[in-house]
């Protein structure tokens, strides 16, 4: 009788404790984060794997206790690769869902349009895009925008330095007609005196161009030693490489991290062999130990790693998580912004290290980069 009573008492106590814990977690609430990416439109090739990686990484963290006892809650908004939609998305995520940070927008144009809205609503943006102007300190919204990819100031310099190292002096530039492409092309011209080369021809094409033989011919006729492509749309990058081959432009071709996609490898085929591309890590083909670990997490969730997109998606989430862990009490947009500016050497899945400060909103730099070479349908890291 006493034993039965004791067992019942212990059972009731356990139920009460469980209920109390459940109530405490519920009362504490969740960590609400917005995910504002292009999951349709031309930039969906980036936005979808970025989103998938964020979801998988959040589920992994939630399964291991969450963030300070809070479960991560993701609220998604598709900006349709449209700057106007990106700005609208910030308003919707903050006003309707009370998110305390937003991962995105994923494109430079979207980030520049959304920045003023984020500043007005006092919520930080964690932007994956490399467009230089996104973190320009002259922007009135600078205090609220942080980059979780690598600034094109770093990637473009790395590409051009490698061209010069390998004997290139007369350089041609092919770029896509948007903020990303134009900024990279302009920066290449700016770097020419410092690195010791000359931009002898610069040509461009819109996103949806399929025939760029005229542009490739101009580069050939300029007698360039190498061509730097500032392109993030795989079909456009492949169109250029094939056009260069057709018009007899037989010089080394270099690309930025925007082309590190399976879709580019599929589209360019054998014509891409030997092309050198700067990548944020090399998750799909030659991962670092930290990248390989995240790759296994993705595979267990049924996702096949495709490139840097998953890495910078996870960078956004891991930055938000690290900031939230530093906050006592209820996270707010302002508290998250202040915390991000104190982060250095926090846990990430990308190779290298990450550090933000009040004067540096580009937390990821050269240590996250690797120059790859396309060989047999894969991006192979160069020594």
Minimal CA–CA distance to 69: which of 103, 25, 102?
Answer: 25
Task: Using CA atoms of 153, 372, 259, 272 in order, give the dihedral in degrees to the nearest 10.
Answer: 140
Q: Which two tokens stand for residue 42?
A: 């031309």
Exposure on the CB side of residue 147, measured as CA atoms within 13 A: 26
Query: CA 209, CA 312: separation in Å to the nearest integer?
Result: 27
* Domain co-membership, 109 together with 249: no
Residue 28 has a pLDDT of 61
pLDDT in tens, 31-59: 999 999 999 998 898 999 999 999 999 99
Domain for residue 237, yes or no? yes
Sign of CA dihedral 178, 219, 280, 45: positive
| Domain shared by 217 and 309, yes or no | no
Which pLDDT value is given to residue 13?
42
Same domain for 182 and 208: yes
C-alpha dihedral, 174 to 179 to 184 to 190, nearest 10°: 110
The tens digit of pLDDT for each residue in 169-188 reads 999 999 999 888 998 999 99
Q: pLDDT at position 306, please?
A: 80
216 domain residue, yes or no = yes
331 lies in some domain: yes
Q: Which two structure tokens, joined as six digits, stand for 221?
A: 């006729």
Residues 250 and 375 in one domain: yes
Contacts of 269 (CB under 8 A, 6+ apart): 238
For residue 15, what pLDDT is reported? Answer: 39
- 160 and 256 both lie in a single domain: yes
> What does the DSSP assignment read for 122-146?
T--EEE----GGGG-TTSTTGGGEE
Q: Is there a single domain that holds both residue 270 and residue 125?
A: no
Per-residue model confidence (pLDDT) at position 14: 42
Q: Is residue 45 part of a domain?
A: yes
Domain, as residue range, for 327: 31-150+286-366
Residues 40 and 131 placed together within one structural domain of the fold: yes
Element (H, E) at 103: strand 101-103
Tokens of 266: 């599929």
User: Helix, strand or coil for residue 304?
Assistant: coil
Total domains, the chain: 2
Same domain, 230 and 376: yes
Do residues 65 and 120 share a domain? yes
Burial class (CB in 10 A: 0-12, 13-18, 19+), 205: buried
Give the global pTM: 0.84
Report residues of the chain scoring pLDDT below 50.
Answer: 1-27
Is 232 in the same domain as 335?
Answer: no
Number of C-beta neighbours around residue 65 at 10 A: 10
Q: What pLDDT score does 122 carry?
A: 98
Do the beta carbons of residue 97 and residue 73 sit within 8 Å? no
State the Cα–Cα distance between residues 88 and 91, nearest whole angstrom: 5
Q: Which residues contact 21 (CB under 8 A, 6 or more apart)?
A: none
Distance CA 44, CA 57 (A): 19
Domain presence at residue 255? yes
SS3 40: coil
Q: Does any domain span residue 168?
A: yes
Q: Assess whether 273 and 165 both reside in one domain.
A: yes
Residue 5 falls within a domain, yes or no? no
Q: What CATH number does residue 73 fall under?
A: 3.40.50.2300
The answer to whether residue 244 sits within a structural domain is yes
Looking at the fold, whether 214 and 261 belong to one and the same domain comes out as yes
Alpha-carbon Rg for the chain in angstroms: 23
């Amino acid at each position: 009788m006493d034993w039965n009573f004791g067992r019942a008492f212990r059972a009731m106590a356990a139920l009460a404790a469980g209920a109390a814990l459940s109530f405490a977690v519920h009362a504490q609430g969740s960590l609400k984060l917005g995910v504002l990416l292009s999951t349709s439109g031309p930039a969906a090739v980036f936005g979808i794997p970025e989103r998938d990686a964020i979801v998988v990484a959040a589920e992994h963290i939630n399964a291991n206790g969450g963030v300070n006892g809070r479960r991560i809650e993701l609220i998604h908004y598709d900006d349709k690769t449209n700057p106007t939609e990106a700005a609208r998305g910030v308003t919707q995520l903050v006003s309707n869902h009370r998110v305390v940070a937003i991962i995105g927008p994923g494109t430079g144009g979207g980030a520049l349009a959304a920045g003023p809205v984020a500043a007005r609503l006092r919520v930080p943006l964690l932007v994956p895009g490399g467009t230089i102007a996104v973190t320009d300190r002259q922007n009135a919204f600078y205090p609220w925008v942080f980059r979780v990819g690598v600034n094109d100031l770093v990637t473009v310099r790395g590409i051009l330095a490698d061209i010069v190292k390998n004997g290139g002096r007369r350089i041609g530039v092919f770029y896509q007609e948007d903020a990303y492409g134009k900024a990279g092309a302009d920066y290449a011209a700016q770097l020419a005196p410092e690195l010791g080369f000359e931009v002898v021809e610069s040509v461009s094409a819109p996103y949806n161009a399929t025939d760029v033989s005229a542009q490739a011919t101009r580069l050939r006729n300029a007698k360039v030693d190498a061509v730097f492509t500032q392109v993030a749309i795989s079909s456009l990058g492949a169109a250029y490489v094939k056009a260069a081959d057709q018009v007899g432009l037989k010089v080394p071709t270099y690309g930025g991290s925007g082309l590190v996609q399976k879709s580019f490898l599929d589209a360019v085929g054998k014509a891409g062999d030997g092309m050198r591309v700067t990548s944020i890590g090399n998750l799909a083909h030659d991962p670092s130990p930290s990248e390989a670990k995240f790759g296994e997490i993705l595979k267990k969730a049924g996702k096949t790693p495709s490139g840097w997109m998953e890495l910078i998606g996870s960078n956004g989430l891991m930055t938000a998580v690290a900031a939230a862990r530093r906050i006592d009490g209820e996270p707010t947009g302002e508290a998250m912004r202040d915390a991000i500016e104190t982060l250095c050497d926090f846990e990430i899945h990308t190779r290298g290290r990450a550090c933000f400060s009040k004067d540096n909103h580009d937390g990821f730099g050269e240590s996250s980069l690797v120059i790859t070479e396309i060989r047999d349908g894969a991006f192979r890291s160069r020594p």
